[in-house]
Amino acid sequence: MSKVLLRDILESEFRANPAYRLVLFDRLPPEQREPLKDLTKDPDFYGVLVPGEGSARKIKSVCRETALLLYTLQQPGSLPEYVRAARGDECNQAVAELVLDEVLEIHREGRFVCGSEAFDLIYGERESAGAQGTLPRLAQDALEYAQRLDIDDSGKLSARLYFYNRAPLTPSWKCRFPTSDAVAAHLGIDSGGATRRILEGGWRRTKPSSQFDGWFHWQSRMEKHEAEVRQSYKLYVSPRPELTGDAFRCVAEILADSPAFHFKVGYDAAGLLRPDKIVIYFLNFEALRQTADLIARRLEGCAAQGVPFTAALEGDALLSWGADPLPGIGMLSWQERESWRLWITNRLATSLLVAKSASNGGLEPWQFALERLRLDNVDTDTWTPLAAFGQPAAVGS
């Protein structure tokens, strides 16, 4: 991977971004407090940054430490010494992230800038080989596509990124798989189905979390409590939609004796058309790699669809992986955990909108989004999750 090189900005002059107003949660009107009330479950929560009226910026939650810094920098000045003492070696990156996320502004040539306009003040020189391989190129294509969209809502933009590379749901596919029962028969998991018999020894079908879940689920029959599964590593198997039936049977035969603890497959026509149509969960990367090697040999030559924002295995797009973030990484401890790809696309969408709203002719918004995400411990050359996810930086291929 290419290492992130940040310039030392700690001696610069900063100020709180005047485009936001810092409001203590208790001082918000009741109608604004209601949708944010769950934030109060975090004991470190202070309040929110509210953008000016008519702004495309979104409300940001703020912890006590950041709130104190913002109050300190209502008037431009140097970084308070207590911030350096509290953050130690991580201080430079922490302050850089606040500038890139438009919470703070940094002085530059007689004015204050933030977001992508501050990019070259923060980043040093970095040599990048660019997108190499099918999946990295697919991720770049998705970002360039999202950049062109006239969408200023980060949630909607994240959804466009997340669903990128789905095959279209044509009338032919709807006719072929009008119901989930038709999909089950195609996969051989219906009553008396051959693949169902393969799985019955080591796996049990589980009910979806809701009627809108969209997956057929299986849980290993081995004793395992959900509380033990703090970190999950996900193997994506992505055959072309028309090859899913045969590919799934091969996968099921391997999973009959596998260290995986959970897996799922799309339950309707739309589910079979998504690139991440088969997802297998493991407790560690070694177990994932072992199973992936077996699947790769069985599915050699199978045409791949490819899952954007995942790390390739075996040098092609058929098999790839990710690691769901641990609780506490980029989220409040009480929040429902985001999946690997949703965690990625949410952050990319936010950074794209930050960059699109700024003026930096030397940097494309999608490039800014990649570099900002790199600071969150993702190698965006290969889409490998790094040490913050409990995973050594050198794994994968």
> What would the pLDDT profile of 315-372 be if each residue is shown by its tens digit?
789 999 999 876 544 443 333 457 899 999 999 999 999 898 877 667 899 999 999 9
Residue 77 has pLDDT above 70, yes or no: yes
357 vs 125 pLDDT, higher one: 357
> What stretches of the chain adopt beta strand conformation (E)?
13-16, 20-24, 45-51, 60-63, 77-78, 104-108, 111-113, 203-206, 215-220, 233-237, 262-266, 278-282, 311-313, 319-323, 378-379, 384-385
Residue 31 has pLDDT above 90, yes or no: no
A 10 A CB-CB count for 145 gives 14
pLDDT at 4: 66
Q: Which H or E run includes 301? A: none
Instruction: Give all domains of the chain, ordered by start, each with its CATH number.
Output: 1-127 (no CATH), 171-305 (3.30.2430.10)
Mean pLDDT on 164-168? 97
Residue 314 has pLDDT above 90, yes or no: no
Going by pLDDT thresholds of 50, 70 and 90, the confidence category of residue 140 is very high
pLDDT at 392: 40
pLDDT at 128: 59
30 vs 304 pLDDT, higher one: 304
Closest by CA position to 61, among listed 368, 326, 327, 335: 335
Q: Which H or E run includes 92? A: helix 91-100
Angle at CA of residue 213, ends 209 and 215, nearest 5°: 105
pLDDT at 2: 52
- What proportion of the chain, given as a percentage, has pLDDT over 90? 70
pLDDT at 193: 93
